[in-house]
A and B are shown apart, each in its own frame.
Chain A
Amino acid sequence: MASLTKVQRHRKALGILGDVYAILIYAVLYIPVVVMMIFSFNDQRYNYYWNGFTTQWYGKLFTNHALMDSLWYSLIIAVLATVISVVVGTLGALGLKRYEFKMKKFVNSMIFIPIIVPEIVLAVALLIIFMNVGFSLGMGSILIGHCTFCIPYAVVTIKGRISGDGETLEEASMDLGANRIQTFLRVTLPSIMPGVMSAAFLSFTLSIDDVVMSNMLSGAKNTTLPVLILSMNKSGVTPDVNALTTIMILVIVACMLLSNAVKAALRKRSAAA
């Protein structure tokens, strides 16, 4: 009996130790975010040290043209990259899962290259090709770069959600008189929708946060928000960027919570029906 309580005490101590450890790790992960948010209220032209509280940057950031321009540039690229990657990725995942063709093994291994190889390698490789064929750098080149690493993630994410009995359902749908497009939209797509949604979310976040590809492939004129921040680093990042980043993370988390709530509601409804 005594030994049992000793074991239990031991377990409990280990449990507390685990909790403390986990809290410490989470603290390390969240400290940069919290510090970033705190310094958005810093009353100083450049962020070096704390100089008093102000909320002025949340208004002023909208008059910072360089910042706003780069934000729009980033958003446009992220939306386009998401749409292209999800379309190519969804079709690709279905094609690579269901059909046998000569190049399949080759394409499958090519898909892993952008995921695994350091981004700088792919970025300079694309840069050399673009320069040599005379493709001018700008939104187009950045977009191609982003899609090149978003498509593989989209394919992998969606492929994981394609179930084995999908084909039987599709055949049933076509036997019942639906054509290929109708079958795709009303049978195939709904069944892989969760995968498509996470692929879209992943593509958007990868694109909007990308530095390396955008930095190597942007033209002289416009650039994305992360590249602007990288260039600000020498002189010091201004607090309005902190304010903007704070707004962005709050929007993303809000979207995430909303989509989870919608998903839960839908699940409840389908369970009831």
Chain B
Amino acid sequence: MSTRINDTTDLQAISRKRDLRRKTIPALAQAGPVSVWMILFVTLPMLYIIYISFMSRGVFGDVVYEFSLESYQTLLDSIYFKVIVKSLQVALFTTVACLLLGYPFAYYIARKPPAVASKLIMLIMIPFWTNSLMRLNSWLLLFQTSGPVNTFLQWAGITSEPVTFIYTDPLVMLGLVTNMLPFAVLPLYSTIEKLQNSLLEASSDLGANPRQTFFRITLPLTFPGIFSAVILVFIPSLGIYTVSDMLGGGKVLYIGNIIKNQFGSIRNWPLGAALSVLLLVITGALIFLYTRFSKLEDMEVV
């Protein structure tokens, strides 16, 4: 009797040991580094920035560690509130523009034979291996007061005086749209590509005209791609400050610029943190909506 009990405990011990060797150690060795990295450099900083946003700014730009809603109240001040509203509008404009321009383009590529389509996708990627700031700088050179665009406009007699394009919102928006377009095209392409021709044929066989087929078959079925595109364009355009820095010349300020300034010359960490938390909340809300009808893992991010 007692030997039998010993046998089972021995067996259990052996199987536990084998499990440790077969499962636990490799699992730790493989998933360990990434888990530790993410907790140290993503989870902790994110929690800490939320914590700092509830502190207040000292006289010398230091952080006073006492609970306060000061920074969030500051966000409602008209100067900051206007910047927030404007950033949201610009990000929305960029997203809509990228969707409207990107959808037909993605559709065009997706209807090509796979070999051609992959080459066309490659052609989209190549310009983005050029430094993004230098590409933005090119728009500045083109739209300079004495640049090619102004020269052309005057030569064609459209304007007599050079038009001021640089350091204005429209040029920043042009920069944003051209920078973000691939992030809309790629997820759109991958959902349109999966669309089955038979469904479209069935729709037209059943008497739908192309417009009806588009709005009632194509558009609903490619909705996951559209929502991925919205997330991949809207959220970065909301936080980006390089485009407004390069093309806005310090005159065009969005949320990103304001956050950056709080950690530079102005030194108001809690306010910068509160603005960052605002971006986090907007991001979280969009992701929550996304996960209502699609899996986060399915989002085509690369």
Contact = CB atoms under 8 A, between A and B. Distances in A.
Interface in B25-73: 26-27, 29-35, 37-39, 41-46, 48-49, 52
A107 B31 contact: yes
Contacts of A116: 231, 235, 283, 287, 301
B142 interface: yes
A212 interface: yes
A95 B30 CA distance: 5
A101 B34 contact: no
A262 B104 CA distance: 34
Contacts of B246: 230, 233
Given A29-B181, A99-B30, A233 B235 contact: no
A61 interface: no
Nearest to A154: B34
Nearest to A159: B297
B37 to A, nearest CB: 6
Contacts of A115: 301
B214 interface: no
A99 B27 contact: yes
A222 to B, nearest CB: 18
A237 B137 contact: yes
Given A47-B141, A118-B238, A128-B45, A180 B301 contact: no
B138 A107 contact: no
Contacts of A99: 23, 26-27, 30-31
B240 to A, nearest CB: 7
Contacts of B45: 122, 125-126, 128-129
Contacts of B44: 129
Given A110-B42, A118-B238, 17 more contacts: A21-B104, A21-B108, A32-B178, A35-B142, A91-B30, A101-B31, A104-B31, A112-B296, A114-B42, A116-B283, A117-B280, A132-B48, A144-B41, A153-B302, A205-B129, A242-B134, A248-B131
Interface in A209-243: 209, 211-212, 215-216, 225-226, 229-230, 233-234, 237, 241-242
B29 A91 contact: yes
B135 interface: yes
A31 B259 contact: no
A216 B263 contact: yes
Interface string A21-32: 110011011111
A36 interface: yes
B105 A125 contact: no
A35 to B, nearest CB: 4
B272 A22 contact: no
B138 A211 contact: no
A120 interface: yes
B101 interface: yes
A21 to B, nearest CB: 6
B153 to A, nearest CB: 15
13 contacts: A25-B105, A91-B31, A95-B31, A116-B283, A117-B279, A129-B48, A157-B302, A216-B260, A237-B134, A245-B131, A248-B131, A249-B130, A252-B129
Nearest to B39: A110
Please provide the 9 A-B residue pairs with the shortest distance between their CB atoms, ordered closest to farther: A118-B239, A95-B31, A92-B34, A95-B30, A125-B45, A99-B27, A32-B135, A35-B138, A32-B138
A124 B123 CA distance: 34
Contact of A103 (B35, B104, B269): B35
Interface in B95-119: 101, 104-105, 108-109
Contacts of B27: 95, 98-99, 101
B41 A126 contact: yes
Contact of A230 (B23, B242, B269, B280): B242
A29 B127 contact: yes
Nearest to B296: A112
B31 A30 contact: no
Contacts of B231: 116
A127 interface: yes
Given A121-B280, A124-B273, A95 B32 contact: yes
Contacts of A142: none
B37 A120 contact: no
Contacts of B35: 92, 103, 107
Given A117-B283, A120-B239, A155 B34 contact: yes
Interface in A49-101: 49, 87-89, 91-92, 94-96, 98-99, 101
